[in-house]
Amino acid sequence: MKTLMIKLLVIFMLGGLHANTQTEEMGFNEDEQHLRRRYAESVIASEISKIRDSMVQRNFINFLLSQKGKRSRSAAVEEDQEERWYNDLLKLSLHDKQGNI
């Protein structure tokens, strides 16, 4: 995640430098340069926001999957314990029946 944010920051800075050189070459006035810079910054911010949202969604899904795995393991342990109790009860009932005969 940190490497992705660093890459985005580098892309953002390179994009800003590229936008400055383009506007100087094309001869735009200061107002047009300012508007273009604001547009470029908003596009980059939007892309960063989308990437962060997808990372949060991925982390949430991983969290849910890990919780499901924990629950299924605990359910299996409970089933094993219930099965042992049932077997113990069967043994006791068989032992009682044999003792009464």
**How many distinct structural domains can be found in the chain?**
1
95 to 28, 85, 88: CA distances (angstroms): 98, 15, 10
Instruction: Give pLDDT, residue 40.
Output: 86
Instruction: Give pLDDT, residue 19.
Output: 55
Instruction: Give pLDDT, residue 72.
Output: 66
- For residue 21, the enclosing domain spans 2-100
Q: Whose CA is closest to 41, among 63, 70, 8, 74?
A: 8
100 to 3, 82, 89, 94: CA distances (angstroms): 75, 27, 16, 10
Instruction: Give pLDDT, residue 53.
Output: 92
Instruction: Give pLDDT, residue 22.
Output: 53
Q: Per-residue confidence of the chain (101 residues) as pLDDT tens digits?
A: 677 767 767 776 777 666 555 545 556 677 888 888 888 888 889 999 999 999 999 999 989 888 877 766 666 666 777 778 777 777 777 777 676 65
Can you tell me the distance from the alpha carbon of 37 to that of 32, in angstroms, rounded to the nearest whole number?
Answer: 8
pTM: 0.41
Instruction: Give pLDDT, residue 83.
Output: 79
Instruction: Give pLDDT, residue 56.
Output: 92
